[in-house]
Chain A
């Protein structure tokens, strides 16, 4: 039997969830005997292959048109989609902007920010556009497995992947279920 293909990507994320994935440490070596990571934001190949993968992992909230496209592509190309981390599952810290207007949020980040001098809100046509509100992944595409946590522990990630490899639907509870 060939290896199970796994693709990961991040949306509006801080990279912490991928750091937690790397925190699997030596368990990654064992995992890689059973899975093949086709693409990830921290490897050269960024996009899941057209032929598709078995498991897709998304971290981060859906915050702009680019995030939306990445989420939809991942959904189309994977059989099982995991929303990994609070931002992917609930919208997380990214939704802080939902409590104020987009203008206020952009102004705070690019102009009023304490470390900014003569700042201005970027307006290049090359940039993707912000969505009206930041969204959880399951508000944009169907999600099969939710693994909250900010970030989820390496143990929780290992549990979910191991369960999937064993052909079971992972249940995230007990020590694996954390919201922070």
Chain B
């Protein structure tokens, strides 16, 4: 341990810590701008300058390591003067006029200027216009607001391992640049939005949530939730206002994503345009008409009573609670989406295994398309020296260029042979895993951990409640389809003479139903989902569903009761 004093306070800290870390641990606040806890420190902005005894110059706390006997001053007159000077320099370039910036109120640069009482500027401004790169669909890059802290670059590199962002030119001419200076929209960017989330100023701007309310002023509320875009189950923070999602951010502290999120989780699910259903509908004389819950449930009960065979198919986005109600109400149940093959061998792994993996095999899966955060974690592992092996063209364009070996399923044994000398291999497989590959990969049993990527987001939760993929029965007398808020419609449904659809939105499916029951949308639900690792995550509704829309499991529970199955 190392003994240091900060502002006269004696501290005993771990060797190797930075002054900033030691101060934070002791509850001493040092202002930062380019520092972000999720990425490495580079000491770019000089806001965290501190006075260290026996050091000739002020030192950046974020990169300066503690040493035995070190004496640090974090708010001495010299330090404060230096920080004010740094702020003056930051404001002397580009456009930092707050009154027409969407980040005003939530901007870290502005907060620092307030903290140090910057009531005027002492340097002339160059007023050199910088381009605004609006070539991306979900967010834009306004170089005028950029302070070159390079958080976006480090996030793109270290968190997502996508390496799209960098800088070009030097000194005051430095610009954030995508790939080899192509428009952001034509770059290798995957729209994960991590750069957007870490940007301290208004340089990376979310098109959708700009000017829709400030966090600091309490215009918007933040609620933690779990994304059900796929089976990874990323932890997210839903930023909402008056029952509407303003934006979705990743939750830095939540497993298994820890700050990762993909275009689906962050942006695509806000693109819903189908009309919302808030009242039950029943078909009378060929047309769907609004009715009350009691009449709608009665119509459903009558339909299911008459049926000799019945079943229920649900979206994989449903909660464990809903699947439990589904299994209780119907003997024949299923989720839509192709099932994962049963390996019959192999120790199940967690996504954390990828961190220490030295060999990663992707078989019958394209995580970059279906489970993107897994793909990002694979790329991160590759940055740390892991080798990548692809079986049957898995991996897609995103991973193919980085593969050490890519083989058709029949030659999976070749991969097994090479991976045999790895010390901690991980096998990732999907619904496309071929029989031959499945057999060959058995040779890695006991050595590798195996991670399945199920098509349905809550496949593991459904399975635990006894709901598996639909068994293929092609016709039933009466069918209950729980579509929920799934943006995708089920591709092949069994024929049914009587159709009940529970859905948040009006769709082609609800249009042909006999009874339509409104369902809550994602952010309006509470409950549990179980991710692909088997991790069960609880989440609360960010805001209530529209009046008259019950919990997702409620109509099923009512149906079970009335059918005498409760």
The interface of chain A, by Cβ under 8 A from chain B, is 83, 86, 89-93, 95, 98-100, 133, 136, 138-139, 143, 146-148, 150, 171-173, 177, 179-180
Give the CA-CA distance A162 to B343 in the complex, in Å: 79
* Interface pair B117/A177, CB less than 8 Å apart: yes
**Binary CB contact string for chain B from 78 to 111 against chain A (1 if under 8 A, 0 otherwise):** 0000000000000000010111110011000010
Contact of A89 among B100, B117, B119 (CB under 8 A): B119
Q: Is the CB of B99 within 8 A of A93?
A: yes
Q: Which of A95, A136, A150, A173 contacts B120 (CB 8 A)?
A: A136
Q: Quick check: is B124 within 8 A (CB to CB) of the other chain?
A: yes
Task: Report the bound CA distance from A123 to B87 in whole Å.
Answer: 41
- Size of the chain B interface, CB-CB below 8 angstroms: 20
State whether A150 touches B114 (Cβ < 8 A).
no
User: Number of A-B pairs whose CB atoms are under 8 Å?
Assistant: 58
Contact B120 A98 (CB under 8 A): no
Q: Please give me the residue from chain B that is nearest to A173 by CB atom.
A: B117
- Nearest A residue to B130 via CB reads A99
A99 in contact with B95 (CB, 8 Å)? yes
**What residue in chain B is nearest A177 (Cβ atoms)?**
B114
Whether B120 pairs with A148 at a CB distance below 8 angstroms is yes
Q: Does the CB pair B117–A172 fall under 8 Å?
A: yes
Are A83 and B120 in contact, CB atoms less than 8 angstroms apart? yes
Q: Which chain A residue has the least Cβ–Cβ distance from B113?
A: A179
Q: Are A92 and B119 in contact (CB under 8 A)?
A: no
Known contacts A136-B121, A179-B104; is-contact A150 B129 (Cβ 8 Å): no
Docked CA distance A89–B98 (Å): 13
Interface residues of B in 425-440 (CB under 8 A from A): none
Find chain A residues with CB under 8 A from B125 CB: 91, 95, 98
Q: Are A147 and B127 in contact (CB under 8 A)?
A: no
B121 lies within 8 A of A95 (CB): no
User: What residues on A are CB-neighbors of B101 within 8 Å?
Assistant: 180
CB-contact partner of A95 in B97, B110, B113, under 8 A: B97
- Minimal beta-carbon separation of A168 from chain B (angstroms): 15
Complex: how many Å from CA A100 to CA B128?
8
Query: Which 5 pairs show the lowest CB-CB distances between chains A and B?
Result: A179-B98, A98-B127, A146-B120, A150-B99, A173-B117
- CA distance in complex: A138, B125 (Å): 13
Q: Are A139 and B129 in contact (CB under 8 A)?
A: no
CB pair B99 A86 closer than 8 Å: yes
Contacts of B128 in A (CB 8 A): 99
A99-B127, A99-B129, A100-B129 in contact; A90/B121 too (CB < 8 A)? yes
- Most chain B CB inside 10 Å of its own CB: which residue of A86, A133, A173: A173
**Contact of A138 with B120 in the complex, beta carbons under 8 Å:** yes
Give me 17 A-to-B residue pairs in the complex whose CB atoms sit less than 8 angstroms apart, sorted by A's number: A83-B120, A86-B98, A89-B119, A91-B125, A92-B99, A93-B97, A93-B99, A95-B125, A146-B119, A147-B119, A148-B119, A150-B99, A172-B117, A173-B114, A177-B114, A179-B99, A179-B113
Q: Given the complex, which residues of B lie within 8 Å of A147, measured CB to CB?
A: 119
Q: How far is the CA of A128 from the CA of B284 in the complex (A)?
A: 76
Candidate in A86, A143, A179 with the most chain B CB atoms within 10 angstroms: A179
Residues of B within 8 A of A93 (CB): 97, 99-100
Nearest CB on A from B448, distance (A): 56
Q: Is the CB of A92 within 8 A of B97?
A: yes
Chain A residues within an 8 Å CB radius of B121: 90, 136
CB distance from A176 to the nearest CB of B (A): 9
- Which of A89, A98, A180 has the most CB atoms of chain B within a 10 A radius of its CB? A180
Shortest distance from the beta carbon of A35 to any chain B beta carbon, whole Å = 22
Q: Which of B120, B127, B129 contacts A143 (CB 8 A)?
A: B120
Q: Point out the residues of chain B lying under 8 angstroms from A146, CB to CB.
A: 119-120
Residue ID in chain B nearest A97 by CB atoms: B127
Known interface pairs A98-B127, A179-B104; A172-B119 also in contact (CB < 8 Å): yes
Q: Are A90 and B114 in contact (CB under 8 A)?
A: no
Q: Among A90, A91, A179, point to the contact of B110 (Cβ < 8 A).
A: A179
Closest chain B CB from A50 CB (angstroms): 29
Contact A86 B97 (CB under 8 A): yes
Cα distance, A116 to B110, chains bound together (Å): 37
Q: Residues of A contacting B95 with CB < 8 Å?
A: 99
Contact with A along B55-71 (1 / 0, CB 8 A): 00000000000000000
Contact A95:B119 (CB < 8 A) given known A86-B99, A180-B99: no
Docked pose: A177 CA to B105 CA in angstroms = 12
Chain B residues closer than 8 Å to A133, beta-carbon distance: 127
CB distance from B136 to the nearest CB of A (A): 22
Give the contacting residue for B117; candidates A86, A139, A171; CB below 8 A: A171
Contacts of A150 in B (CB 8 A): 98-99
Whole-angstrom CA separation of A148 from B125 in the bound complex:
17
Known: A89-B119, A89-B120, A179-B113. 14 other contacts (CB 8 A): A86-B98, A90-B121, A91-B125, A92-B97, A95-B127, A98-B125, A99-B128, A133-B127, A146-B119, A148-B120, A171-B117, A173-B117, A179-B99, A180-B99
B123 CB, min distance to chain A CBs, angstroms: 10
Q: Are A139 and B100 in contact (CB under 8 A)?
A: no
* Docked complex Cα distance between A125 and B98 (Å): 36
- Beyond A100-B129, A133-B127, whether A177 also contacts B119 by CB under 8 A is yes
Q: For A145, give the chain B residue with the smallest CB separation.
A: B119
Which B residues are in CB contact (< 8 Å) with A95?
A: 97, 125, 127
Complex alpha-carbon distance, A133 and B114, angstroms: 27
A100 to B124 CA separation, bound complex (whole angstroms): 17
Which residues of chain B are near A99, meaning CB under 8 Å?
Answer: 95, 127-129
User: Of B95, B104, B127, which is in contact with the most chain A CB atoms at under 10 Å from its CB?
Assistant: B127
B110 neighbours in A (Cβ, 8 Å): 179
**Residues in chain A near residue B127, CB distance under 8 A:** 95, 98-99, 133
Give the residue name and chain of the A residue nearest to B104 (CB).
Answer: A180
**Considering the chains assembled together, what is the distance between the CA atoms of A25 and B299 in angstroms?**
64
Select the residue from B105, B120, B121 with max chain A CB neighbours within 10 A. B120
Nearest B residue to A134, CB-CB:
B127
What CA separation (Å) do A136 and B105 show in the bound complex?
Answer: 23
A150 to B100, CA, bound (A): 10
In the bound complex, what is the Cα–Cα distance between A9 and B99 (angstroms)? 22
In the bound complex, how far is the Cα of B98 from the Cα of A93, in angstroms? 9
Choose from B105, B114, B124 the contact partner of A139 (Cβ within 8 Å): B124
Q: Tell me how far the C-beta of A110 lies from the nearest C-beta in chain B, rounded to whole angstroms.
A: 21
CB distance from A68 to the nearest CB of B (A): 16
Nearest CB on A from B132, distance (A): 11
Q: Which residues from B are CB-within-8-Å of A98?
A: 125, 127
A131 to chain B, nearest CB (A): 13
CB-defined contacts of B124 to chain A, threshold 8 Å: 139
Cα distance, A93 to B95, chains bound together (Å)? 11
Residues on A with C-beta less than 8 A from B117 are 171-173, 177
CB contacts (< 8 Å) of B129 on chain A: these are: 99-100
